[in-house]
Structure 1
Amino acid sequence: MPNKIALFSAKPYDKTYFEQFRHEFDCQVDYFEVPLTEQNVQLCQGGYDAVCVFVNDTVNQAVLSQLSEFGCNIVALRCAGFNNVDLQAAENLNIRVCRVPSYSPEAVAEHTVGLMLTLSRKFHKAYNRVKEDNFSLNGLLGFNLFKKTVGIIGTGKIGHATINILKGFGCNILAFDPTETPIDDVAYVSLETLYKQADIISLHCPLTPQTHHLINQDSLALMREGVMIVNTSRGGLIDTDAMIKGLKARKIGYLGLDVYEQEANLFFEDLSNEIIDDDVFQRLLTFPNVLITGHQGFFTQEALTAIAQTTLGNIQLLNNQQDCLNQIKPS
């Protein structure tokens, strides 16, 4: 019998890539456009071996208990982060959890540097001006990345890939990570030192209780005037209210976000004909030095291919009671 998988928060591109590889892994995939929540977990009653979820799906104790009752004992994340999963509850219920720890570090790293360049050289504003036959350079003055000091928080695969790109620009790299993996021409320093010395700060760490609101009012106070902050990891790493205060005080010179703390109700959906009632998000959009993309950093052909293949491979291994290197357990 093929593995039967319920895939939630399904988009057309998910179906394209998962359909491309599902026969290779002998599985049937049912696609649900809705996110997995406590209200619609009932959709999993159809004899599924696994549920496949994404960053904004809810996999708490209540959902896991229902999945266990339905006989579904695998939760497969098609992403690297797993802060939306109650790992302890999953283990107590004998539900195995797996993820895709490395789909394409370069995809997110390249998007990160793209945000830095767009903020520093104002490509987005120049593009709109030229479309209106406005070729004035007033207001488009930028700065070189060359010789700037960039602080990288988190030197896993994405952080490391970002460092490799920035080295090519001639940046000076400072780094912080609880696990200091030696990297040529990179100085590991304390968070306090990184905050004080970096012209640009880029976040590449998971969201945990320890990293929640890592960038807050206190850490902002240590940073240089006009600092650039870029976050392509998880929205909860940043205290958004503190960011707004920092922008208003001109402490933050540039802010690039591919993630947002309350993004679950916004990102991945077309809301162009809706009224967005998130006042904090709307306030962020009013600043001319803020650039936001909708959790797009991972979105390349290479990454989607790796996500589909790795996710289906993880499910196959776990369903066959084989060791899976991408299985995650409570710490």
Structure 2
Amino acid sequence: MIKVACFDTKSYDKEWFDRKNNGEFQIKYYENKLNADTAKLAHGCQAVIAFVNDSIDKETIEELYQLGIKVIAMRCAGYNNIDFKEAYQKIAVVRVPGYSPHAVAEHAMALLLCLNRKIHRAYIRTRDYNFSLKGLIGFDLYKKTIGVVGTGKIGQVFIDICKGFGMRVLAYDLYPDHSKDIEYVSLETLFSESDVISLHCPLTEESKHMINAETLKLMKQDAVIINTSRGALIDSEALLVALKEERIAGAGLDVYEEESDLFFEDNSGTIPKDDVLSLLVGLPNVIITSHQGFLTNEALSNIAETTIENLRAYFHDESLINEICYFCLPGGTNPNCRKQKEGRCF
């Protein structure tokens, strides 16, 4: 039986992987995040299952390689935490590119609705029997302009939701999909004309801190920012300054730039060390959720099923449709990647 080490495991992960595992794999579950120090827990295994906040850097990959790990199965769509250059021709990497675009897109809209209509504040008030409406004024989404950065599967579902609210949609993507009824504009135009800006793009060297001190200056004073993608798309310190100076109206964040040691864990009994996060959490016009956009039964089922199928395909020498490598990354054109011809990257 093929042995697999699953890192950063929560109870819901184990539940769904146990449901979807057909007995082909013996999965050892660990609460520890995968990094160079914890990689040794995979001793005796042929594969590892990892998550978005695991540190799969050069040292971790080398440790896994020495242990005989053949494949890293990411149970998420993102992969910015992997050193693909180091992994190339050593360890295959597969992912789950489309577990449920509806889950994340709906969470993005939930953040916008909650933030705009002050649901979070009203909920706290009414629990104290305070039914005052003071300070709870929002705005109609109807006919407002929303800028969507990234028009992949999640972005397109979110666009459909926004159109259902009667919003005007502007979009930006390095690789625009002109087969869809989407109005693409420059990033500068999107930032300057949008009442709401929602991020649905991957984190790359080019997209890191795309929202920063300079781009924040382009935005309307009553603009709202929603981020359900990757925390480092936003310069958190610059965002905090803009919010405190009231140069933008609010932010709904399901991700945070320095979340890796905080999110998915109960830190309620500890003294916060991250001053920026502490200040953001305390602002009345900011809502932060703990990277839960993916957290639906449908998404968890699809994640477990696709991850198991990725592993099964690897160990049965089948084509790896969800494999990604150093040359598969956006902009990669090197013919050394053989997936298109031979079904695998190397």
| TM-score normalised by L of structure 2 | 0.93
Question: What SS does the aligned partner of 1:219 have?
Answer: helix
Verify: 1:12 aligned to 2:8, yes or no.
no
Cα deviation, residue 136, structure 1: 1.1
Between the aligned partners of 1:16 and 1:273, the Cα distance in structure 2 is 27
Q: Residues 137-152 of structure 1: matches in 2 within 5 Å? A: 137-152=133-148
2:57 maps to which of 52, 55, 60: 60
Aligned to 2:261: 265
Pairing 1:281-296 to 2, within 5 Å after superposition:
281-296=277-292
Match of 1:44 among 17, 23, 42: 42
Partner of 1:170: 166
Amino acid at match of 1:3: I
Instruction: Tell me, yes or no, if the aligned pair for 1:173 and 1:185 is still in contact at 8 Å.
Output: no
Secondary structure of residue in 1 paired with 2:88: helix
Deviation at 1:184, TM superposition (A): 5.0
What is the Cα deviation at residue 3 of structure 1? 2.2
1:82 and 2:79 aligned: yes
Name the CA distance, whole Å, in 2 between partners of 1:3 and 1:188: 47
Shift of 1:183: 6.0
* Equivalent-residue separation in structure 2 for 1:285 and 1:142 (angstroms): 20
> Is the CA contact 2:4–2:42 (under 8 Å) kept in the aligned structure 1?
no
CA distance in 1: counterparts of 2:323 and 2:315, whole angstroms? 12
* TM-fit CA distance, 1:23: 1.7
**Could you tell me which residue of structure 2 aligns to residue 32 of structure 1?**
30
Number of equivalenced pairs = 327
Matched, 1:3 2:16: no
**Matched residue, 2:250:** 254
TM-fit CA distance, 1:253: 0.2
Post-superposition CA distance 1:43-71 (Å, at most 9, x none): 111x2111000011011111111111111
Whole-angstrom CA distance in 2 between matches of 1:277 and 1:96: 36
Q: Please tell me the residue identity of whatever aligns with 1:51.
A: V
Letter in 2 for 1:172: R
Give the distance between the partners of 1:81 and 1:40, measured in 2 at CA.
21
- The answer as to whether partners of 1:49 and 1:319 remain within 8 angstroms in 2 is no
* Correspondence 1:128 to 2:127: no
> 1:30, 1:21 → 2: CA distance?
15
Q: Equivalent residue of 1:130, what SS?
A: helix
What one-letter code is carried by the residue in structure 2 that aligns with 1:79? C
Deviation at 1:129, TM superposition (A): 1.2
Verify: 1:109 aligned to 2:105, yes or no.
Answer: yes
Aligned match of 1:23: 22
Q: Indicate whether 1:69 and 2:97 are aligned.
A: no
Q: Distance in 2 between matches of 1:82 and 1:328?
A: 9
Q: Secondary structure at the match of 1:62?
A: helix
Q: Which runs of 5+ in 2 are unaligned?
A: 327-331, 333-346
Aligned to 2:250, the other structure's residue is in SS state: strand
Task: Give the Å deviation of 1:182.
Answer: 2.7
Give the TM-score, by structure 1 length.
0.97
Q: CA deviation at 1:121?
A: 0.3
Q: Is the 2:7–2:32 contact (alpha carbons within 8 Å) kept by the matching residues of 1?
A: yes
Q: Distance in 1 between matches of 2:179 and 2:123?
A: 37
C-alpha contact (below 8 Å) 1:122/1:140 kept by paired residues: yes
CA distance in 2, matches of 1:116, 1:231: 10
Distance, in Å, in 1 between the alignment partners of 2:275 and 2:240 is 12
Are the equivalent residues in 1 in contact too, given 2:93–2:323 (CA < 8 A)?
Answer: yes
Alignment partner of 2:317 out of 318, 321, 327: 321
The SS at the match of 1:265 is: coil
Off by >4 Å, runs of 4+ in structure 1: none
Output the CA distance in 1 between the equivalents of 2:61 and 2:85. 10
